[in-house]
């Protein structure tokens, strides 16, 4: 069975899938809860475009991201994106990184999964 070893997860939108936004957020929270139950976790999760909203105030995913972060998962939000949406001061979990950080993580990963 494959693991998340050296896998980078990327959130590029505020939720999973296209279509219903509320459902997308429910799917995201459920997915993350299941990931958190795994023994081996992804090392990094990156967020850009509307994906940065998942780490900010009022996101239904904040608690599960905090749990993942406490287990060693590094969360990188695109600072340009946070600034674009006026959310830099609303980042509740993870760190504001640069696009260079995201590119370096993508290059170092064996697998990149965009959600």
In angstroms, the CA 108 to CA 43 distance is 11
Task: Report the CATH number of the 7-114 domain.
Answer: 3.40.1260.10
pLDDT at 93: 98
3-class state of residue 98 by DSSP? coil
Taking only the tens place, the pLDDT of each residue in 75-95 is 999 999 999 999 999 999 999
pLDDT at 2: 63
pTM (predicted TM-score): 0.93
Taking only the tens place, the pLDDT of each residue in 55-74 is 999 999 999 999 999 999 99
The answer on pLDDT for 16 being more than 70 is yes
CB atoms near residue 57 (< 10 Å): 11
- Would you state the structure tokens that stand for residue 72, as one six-digit string? 């060693």
């Amino acid at each position: 069975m494959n693991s998340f070893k050296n896998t980078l997860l990327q959130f590029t939108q505020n939720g999973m899938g296209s279509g219903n936004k509320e459902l997308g957020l429910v799917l995201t929270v459920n997915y993350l809860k299941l990931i958190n139950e795994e023994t081996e976790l992804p090392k990094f999760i990156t967020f850009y475009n509307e994906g940065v909203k998942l780490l900010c105030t009022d996101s239904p995913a904040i608690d599960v991201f905090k749990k993942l972060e406490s287990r060693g998962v590094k969360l990188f939000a695109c600072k340009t994106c946070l600034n674009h949406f006026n959310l830099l001061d609303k980042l509740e979990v993870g760190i504001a990184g640069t696009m260079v950080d995201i590119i370096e993580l993508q290059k170092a990963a064996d697998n990149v999964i965009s959600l």
